């Protein structure tokens, strides 16, 4: 039984991954096309639900017991239960915050704002910055940390910043936003105060788990404001009750949620799997794209690492297809040659990263990787060229 109070497909399909990718492929906002794409994929999921004989219950679920859920007065029972209620946009506690749009509202905008101010230079902020810059907006990004994408490899985030600035996006880092008043965003940097005028303000400072009305306290399910706590099988402290995805407050990525769901199901069915949750490819669909897997150079502190780098502009395919703005970095352990992390900025980084994910997940060494023939001419040769000599 699947209980849901929104449309099928959740954040990813309705107000996240898919509609933003639809907009990445457009030269001007086209709500009809975006909605068609969502409807097409939703129909596919609905068909899957029918094929698998899954009963759908529309409404908000409240946990009534470890084996029962109540929806509008009706109780449904099961041996196991998985909570996957996702996350909602976080808002800064500053005056006027509610006048800013969140990413979901931004996707329904049917005009191109002349000036767009984005609070937060994380994944959502930068994807919208690229989309609306392409649509013709003057875009300013205000990021609190010293670097955009603060959790990513610093080298990568610096190169991305330069590439976005080159495309006309204004980026202010170490910027602390203090108020939003009638389209005027006030912020400070050090001891100086600034304002940015914008007809449209996007709040993109993270997401928080959607714990609302689940009734976790009555059941004694352990959680913090960061999310529901689980073990490595995604089981909560109450046997038979599992939690996966953004509600657990970990990496808020659709592919991580899906993998967690598979792990939870395997555990419910008494099966084990080898899903490696330490190797998670992550992609940011900016222009140029950014993709990463494994450790950042900062996370390699304490390890003697070899660093290899290669530029797209030395790659025949990239130059021939006029996609020469890009770069790749491979980190390997000098002691045994193992590839620890790969960071890519450039065209099709989102596709190339999966070769890197295979190398990192299987514990491949630089020698293993060099022994693999790469087809020519392809962008994947950039990864090959970046393998350090250890
Ligand atoms: P995020 O955590 O990626 O970025 C939030 C940014 O806001 C951070 O850089 C943070 O330093 C900054 N920030 C925080 N407080 C601030 C303040 N007072 N003033 C200015 N900046 C401030 O969160 P985001 O972008 O909202 O995305 C939410 C989640 O959705 C993330 O986990 C992200 O990975 C996921 N997501 C993934 C996508 C993908 O995989 N392509 C696409 C979009 C979202």
Q: What angle, rounded to 10 degrees, do the helices at 154-166 and 123-135 form?
A: 20
Tell me if residue 376 is catalytic.
yes
Residue 284 CA to ligand 1 center (angstroms) comes to 11
Contacts of residue 36, defined as CB under 8 A and 6 or more positions apart, other chains included, come to none
Here the tokens at position 38 are: 């969502």
**Among candidate residues 144, 79, 87, the one with its CA nearest the CA of residue 118:** 144
Q: Atom of ligand 1 at shortest distance to CA of 246? A: 32
**205 CA closest ligand 1 atom index:** 7
**In the predicted structure, residue 212 carries a pLDDT above the cut 90:** no
In total, the chain counts a number of residues equal to 390
pLDDT for 188 beyond 90: yes
Other CB atoms within a 10 A radius of the CB of residue 206 amount to: 16
DSSP-based three-state secondary structure for 106:
helix
Answering whether pTM is above 0.85, one says yes
By DSSP bridging, strand 2-4 and strand 56-58 are: parallel
Residue 284 has what pLDDT? 98
Whether omega before 377 lies within 30 degrees of 0, making that bond cis, reads yes
Per residue in 282-335, pLDDT tens?
999 999 999 999 999 999 999 999 999 999 999 999 999 999 999 999 999 999
Question: What's the maximum distance between 2 C-alpha atoms anywhere in the chain?
Answer: 65
Average pLDDT over residues 245-269: 97
What is the residue with the minimal CA distance to atom 3 of ligand 1?
Answer: 122
């Amino acid at each position: 039984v699947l209980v849901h109070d929104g449309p099928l497909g959740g954040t990813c399909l309705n107000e996240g991954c898919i509609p933003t990718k639809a907009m990445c492929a457009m030269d001007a906002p086209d709500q009809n096309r975006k909605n068609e794409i969502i409807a097409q994929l939703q129909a596919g999921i609905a068909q899957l639900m029918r094929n698998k004989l899954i009963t759908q219950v529309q409404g908000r679920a409240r946990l009534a017991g470890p084996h029962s859920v109540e929806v509008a007065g009706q109780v449904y029972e099961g041996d196991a239960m998985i909570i996957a209620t996702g996350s909602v946009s976080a808002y800064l506690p500053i005056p006027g915050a509610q006048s800013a749009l969140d990413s979901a509202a931004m996707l329904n905008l049917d005009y191109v704002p002349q000036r767009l101010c984005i609070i937060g230079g994380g994944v959502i902020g930068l994807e919208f910055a690229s989309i609306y810059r392409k649509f013709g907006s003057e875009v300013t990004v205000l990021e609190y940390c010293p670097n955009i994408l603060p959790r990513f490899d610093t080298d990568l985030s610096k190169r991305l910043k330069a590439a976005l600035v080159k495309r006309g996006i204004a980026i202010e880092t170490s910027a602390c936003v203090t108020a939003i008043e009638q389209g005027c965003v006030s912020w400070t940097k050090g001891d100086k105060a600034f304002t940015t005028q914008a007809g449209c303000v996007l709040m993109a400072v993270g997401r928080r788990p959607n714990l609302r009305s689940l009734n976790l306290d009555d059941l004694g399910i352990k959680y913090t404001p960061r999310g529901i706590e689980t073990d490595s099988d995604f089981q909560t402290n109450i046997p038979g009750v599992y939690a996966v995805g953004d509600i657990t407050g970990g990496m808020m990525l659709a592919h991580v949620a899906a993998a967690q769901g598979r792990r939870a199901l395997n555990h419910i069915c008494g099966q084990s799997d080898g899903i490696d949750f330490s190797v998670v490819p992550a992609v940011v669909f900016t222009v140029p794209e950014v993709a990463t897997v494994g450790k950042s150079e900062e996370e390699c502190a304490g390890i003697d690492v070899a660093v290899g780098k290669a530029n797209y502009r030395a790659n025949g395919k990239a130059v021939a297809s006029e996609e020469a703005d890009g770069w790749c970095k491979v980190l390997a352990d000098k002691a045994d040659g193992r590839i620890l992390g790969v960071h890519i900025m450039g065209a099709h980084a989102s596709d190339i990263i999966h070769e890197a994910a295979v190398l990192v997940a299987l514990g491949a060494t630089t020698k293993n990787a060099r022994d693999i023939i790469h087809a020519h001419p392809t962008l994947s040769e950039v990864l090959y060229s970046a393998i350090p000599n250890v």
